[in-house]
Structure 1
Amino acid sequence: MTCQLTIRAGDNGKISPEGEVVVAKSSHVYLHAQPEPGYQVQMWYINGNQLYGGTKQFRITADEDKLDIHVTFSKI
């Protein structure tokens, strides 16, 4: 079984990996956000729900069929 991830970053930063990613269900996925100079990670969202704020690195478990992952950035 697999999990389809849609991974994207908001304005003023990047995320790795990015785009459409398919992984084995129940596997761990490590994400790294890179804010542009003068910006910081504001919030991580999974399927539209706020999860964590302020951290550049994030680990999720691919425990659903589809996950939408989004990170936002704010000015320091």
Structure 2
Amino acid sequence: GLEGGVQVVKVQAGPASNAGIRQGDIIAKINNESFESLEDFEDIVDDLPEDKAIPVLVIRGGNPSFLVLKIEE
């Protein structure tokens, strides 16, 4: 229901929580890619490389910031 991102509803222990992503954050870009829908977002996430630093642009409290996500092998 958001334009230009997806809102995080729940964060489980793992790469997202290790990167500092929190419930309520809006993910606007991941791996420097924008997306139009949740399906597009899921496709990008499915193709993320392992053991590399992945930039994630989040909007928290109206303020944008970059976090670094790393998916372990």
Same fold (TM over 0.5): no
More strand by share: 1
Q: TM-score, normalised by structure 1?
A: 0.36
More helix by share: 2
Q: TM-score, normalised by structure 2?
A: 0.37
Structure ID, larger Rg: 1
